[in-house]
């Protein structure tokens, strides 16, 4: 028997491949290209708008620039723009900073700010922002500012919900041609007061004192922790009736407001916020029916009728977007805008209170809580302060200006307003921190092409 055939010296070539194709070779593309000479690396970074100088306040406010420490950034910026005067602003920079430090990141924080915002489209209005959690604040836009005359024929205001902001927005004073000027009209802390009911029995001073409560048993129940101001604000917000005292540096002390939301305005606001379209006939029918305000406090006799002319147009607090954006930047902005519309909060803020965009509340001065008593003079009802120097009045200017309603310096308590007071607009109102007017902030930020909207007039009666 013959042995096995020896192994083949090589593989059998594929008969289907032509011989000329077997001679092909593959060369990587980079090997065929000439090698570029290496350039020396410049250790210095390339120039950028933010290198060497901090970003502008407008860029920070709009979100196009990010900073690590908002408090340091804005305290440094505002401290360099304080208007020189014989009388400093009512709120010094250290106090301005300590107020924010005590509230930021604190579940017990109760910070508020009132911004004067001179917007090119909406015109001048005032934004009331209240801290709702450690990092965020709910916001209402008020066309004519806070009421200050207890006998005014226009005592009530429309307060329109806007976006939930980051708490660091409370620090901002800025200006741009797209958003106008923004100044701090007042800032401080707030207290949520219990809501008074007109049906509650009044206390009788001649009645004997009630017996003391029984002593606890051997195993007393654990008492729940006291509610924080944020908890109280959340509960009042859900109940659609907020009774709040503002402890500012400019407002009179005490200064108490009532914020109320009717069921019809609540439903209308939620429908608008959900983007539900209604027919023209239905809108006309709604405009004919004025909602009756539901109240349950001492100001029940004040009829709050909504005035559509006082509503601040939507979109006034939206950040301005530049036109020279790349395609990727536009996509990112669209995603961010969708998040804002869906959550009614800007990036970094949390809408933990259930705020609804463009929902209209009614705001009024709680006259009794502010120390006023009702009296009748010549058949007319008037509200007067019980006692104290608060009966002196002056206008909304900071004391660094000469005031039109006051010639006695003793009535000015370091910039604090006294009843009655009137919010007079951008030509008169000054920042409580820097003493600047809106035109000063525009100049400091290098804005020279801003065109304000005309037609705003203060409520002086």
| Residue 108 is assigned to a structural domain of this protein | yes
Sign of CA dihedral 377, 379, 384, 387: positive
Considering only CA atoms, which of 198, 360, 199 is closest in space to residue 273?
360
Is residue 294 pLDDT above 50, yes or no? no
Is residue 116 in a domain? yes
pLDDT above 70 covers a percentage of the chain that reads 63
Which residues, listed in sequence order, are joined to residue 260 by a DSSP beta bridge? 241, 362
pLDDT on residue 116: 98
pLDDT confidence bin for 396, thresholds 50/70/90 = very low
Q: Specify the number of domains making up the chain.
A: 1
Q: What is the pLDDT of residue 402?
A: 29
- Establish if 297 belongs to a structural domain: no
pLDDT recorded at residue 286: 44
Residues 32-42 pLDDT 10s: 445 545 444 44
- Residue 16 is assigned to a structural domain of this protein: no
Asked if residue 188 belongs to a domain, the reply is yes
Closest among 250, 190, 256 to 395, alpha carbons compared:
250
Report the chain's mean pLDDT, rounded to a whole number: 79
Decide if 6 is inside a domain: no
Lowest mean pLDDT, pick from 56-65, 181-190, 270-279, 295-304: 295-304
Q: List C-alpha distances in Å: 81 to 151, 179, 347, 425, 435.
A: 37, 20, 29, 21, 9
Q: Is residue 50 part of a domain?
A: no
User: Is residue 432, in this structure, part of any structural domain at all?
Assistant: yes
Q: What is the pLDDT of residue 388?
A: 55
pLDDT at 55: 80
Could you list the residue range(s) of the whole structural domain that residue 129 is in? 70-196+227-275+306-316+342-444
């Amino acid at each position: 028997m013959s042995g096995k055939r020896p192994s083949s010296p090589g593989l059998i070539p594929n008969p289907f491949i032509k011989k000329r194709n077997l001679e092909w070779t593959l060369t990587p593309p980079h090997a065929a290209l000439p090698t570029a000479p290496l350039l020396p690396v410049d250790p210095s970074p390339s120039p950028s708008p933010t290198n060497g100088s901090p970003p502008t306040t407008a860029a920070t406010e709009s979100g196009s620039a990010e900073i690590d420490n908002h408090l340091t950034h804005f305290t440094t910026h505002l401290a360099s723009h304080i208007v020189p005067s014989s009388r400093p602003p009512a709120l010094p920079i250290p106090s301005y900073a300590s107020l924010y430090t005590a509230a930021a990141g604190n579940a017990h924080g109760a910070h508020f700010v009132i911004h004067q915002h001179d917007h090119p489209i909406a015109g001048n209005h005032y934004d009331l922002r209240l801290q709702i959690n450690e990092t965020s604040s709910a916001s209402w836009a008020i066309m004519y500012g806070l009421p200050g005359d207890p006998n005014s024929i226009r005592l009530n205001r429309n307060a329109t919900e806007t976006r939930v902001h980051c708490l660091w927005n409370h620090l901002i004073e800025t200006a741009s041609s797209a958003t106008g000027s923004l100044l701090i009209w007042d800032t401080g802390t707030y207290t949520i007061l219990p809501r008074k009911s007109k049906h509650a029995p009044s206390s009788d001073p001649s009645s004997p004192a009630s017996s003391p409560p029984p002593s606890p048993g051997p195993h007393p129940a654990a008492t729940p922790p006291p509610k924080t101001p944020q908890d109280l604000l959340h509960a009042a917000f859900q109940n659609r009736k907020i009774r709040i005292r503002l402890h500012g540096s400019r407002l009179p002390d005490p200064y108490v407001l009532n914020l109320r939301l009717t069921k019809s305005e609540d439903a209308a606001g939620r429908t608008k916020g959900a983007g539900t379209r209604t027919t023209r006939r239905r809108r006309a029918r709604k405009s004919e029916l004025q909602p009756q305000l539901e109240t349950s406090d001492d100001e029940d006799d004040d009829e709050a009728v909504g005035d559509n002319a006082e509503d601040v147009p939507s979109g006034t607090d939206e950040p301005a977007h530049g036109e020279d954006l790349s395609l990727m930047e536009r996509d990112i902005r669209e995603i961010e805008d969708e998040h804002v519309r869906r959550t009614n909060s800007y990036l970094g803020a949390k809408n933990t209170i259930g705020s609804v965009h463009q929902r209209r509340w009614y705001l009024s001065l709680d006259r009794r809580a502010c120390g006023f008593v009702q009296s009748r003079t010549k058949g007319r009802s008037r509200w007067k302060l019980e006692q104290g120097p608060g009966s002196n009045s002056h206008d909304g200017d900071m004391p660094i200006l000469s005031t039109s309603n006051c010639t006695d310096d003793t009535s000015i308590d370091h910039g604090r307003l006294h009843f009655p007071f009137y919010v007079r607009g951008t030509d008169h109102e000054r920042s409580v921190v820097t003493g600047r007017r809106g035109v000063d902030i525009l100049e400091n930020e290098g804005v020279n092409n801003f065109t304000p909207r005309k037609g705003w007039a203060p409520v002086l009666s």
